[in-house]
Chain A
Amino acid sequence: MQSQHDHDHAHDANAAHRAAPMVDEISDFEVLEIAVRELAIEKGLFTADEHRRFTEWAESIGPAAGSRLVAKAWTDPAFKARLLADAVAACREIGLDWAEPTGTGTPSDYMEFRVLEDTPNLHHVIVCTLCSCYPRPVLGHSPYWYRSPNYRRRLVRWPRQVLAEFGLQLPPEVEIRVEDSNQKHRFMVLPMRPPGTEGWTEEQLAEIVTRDCMIGVALPRPDRKADDPRPVQPARRPVESTSANRAAG
């Protein structure tokens, strides 16, 4: 303890020392968003509480709707045909309306949605090379890596290498089709139903259709559910924090 004390003392003597800022970077767009939001609240276009409620809703959307679409398509050939023919209309059958919340969709998710069907000879994978277009009404918000320049620029150029980095290696005979969603269409992949799922219910099937399967960087497996425990390594030197320690400290 003595050496620790000496160290702190020397540290305090350094008059030039200043704490590092908690947030060292804020983008121009974040500044713009705050400025516009505060102006809109001041002008009475909406209240701070209404903004919070919308944010709470927007951050609650996830890939469950997409999983349901896939599971229903796997078990109901007539629904699958409707899903492939007019995906926006098929979404309404499971209670999902692309027109929400404005009547014409969210400001950046247009009412154009297509489902891309994988076959034994064809595998789809989606990307938006321009930025981050993603079928948010069915899959929720895109994962961080989907929006990264690394994924966006490399998937179109080296799709097989990028898929291999996700652990997905496909034989050369299988056509890999990259769908760059850089206009108003949004896309989702309908993967093939894996063997070993015969007789499963729609609910059981939906559990193995994870987000990544619908982006196209993974394939569904009967032994892998979205909420399965992940492989974890225990910490090698965990902090020992017991009530006895705290009392003694």
Chain B
Amino acid sequence: MANRETGNVLARFNVGDRVRVKDLPNLFYSRTQMYVRGVSGVIASRTYQSLVPEDEAWNRDEAQPQQFYIVRFRQKDLWEEYPFDNDTLQTELPEGWLEPATD
């Protein structure tokens, strides 16, 4: 909630950067949806800094906040045989789930 104030970590990615969502194991709680894992997209905007859900869910207030981003994916990259070229999907992800895309 008030993590905007505590957020002072250096953001690693810029708008326009191509990133890939890491496919990390689930430990109890996450808000990183399975359907975006391992898929590459583009940073659409840099949003706020906050505890990640994996820490916040357990009141780990001492954990390091992370930069969050809205990432835009092509539907064709998310779903095999998606028939419409132009369609996209956006969702918000913490930096720890993202790495530079190599594809």
Q: Judging by beta carbons under 8 Å apart, are B68 and A156 in contact? A: no
CB distance from B65 to the nearest CB of A (A): 12
The B35-58 residues at the A interface (CB cut-off 8 A) are: 35, 47-48, 50, 53
Q: Judging by beta carbons under 8 Å apart, are B53 and A183 in contact? A: yes
Q: Judging by beta carbons under 8 Å apart, are A183 and B68 in contact? A: yes
CB distance from B61 to the nearest CB of A (A): 15
Asked whether B86 is an interface residue with its Cβ less than 8 Å from the other chain, the reply is: yes
Q: Judging by beta carbons under 8 Å apart, are A177 and B31 in contact? A: no
Asked whether A181 is an interface residue with its Cβ less than 8 Å from the other chain, the reply is: yes
- Nearest chain B residue, comparing its CB with the CB of A123: B87
Docked Cα-Cα span, A168 to B49, in Å, equals: 37
> Binary interface profile of A, 152-190, with partner B (CB < 8 Å = 1, else 0)?
000011011000000000001111111111111100000
Known: A159-B87, A176-B87, A177-B89. A182 touches B31 (CB 8 A): yes
Q: Which residues of A contact B93 (CB under 8 A)?
A: 183
Docked Cα-Cα span, A175 to B84, in Å, equals: 9
Asked whether A79 is an interface residue with its Cβ less than 8 Å from the other chain, the reply is: no
- Nearest chain A residue, comparing its CB with the CB of B68: A183
Known: A111-B1, A130-B31. A177 touches B87 (CB 8 A): yes
Q: Which residues of A contact B31 (CB under 8 A)?
A: 130, 182-183
Q: Judging by beta carbons under 8 Å apart, are A130 and B33 in contact? A: yes
Q: Judging by beta carbons under 8 Å apart, are B89 and A185 in contact? A: no
Asked whether A207 is an interface residue with its Cβ less than 8 Å from the other chain, the reply is: no
Docked Cα-Cα span, A159 to B83, in Å, equals: 11
> B87 is contacted by which of A105, A175, A183, A185 (Cβ under 8 Å)?
A175
> A176 is contacted by which of B33, B84, B92 (Cβ under 8 Å)?
B84
Could you jot down 5 A-B contacts, CB within 8 Å? A156-B78, A178-B89, A183-B31, A184-B48, A185-B47
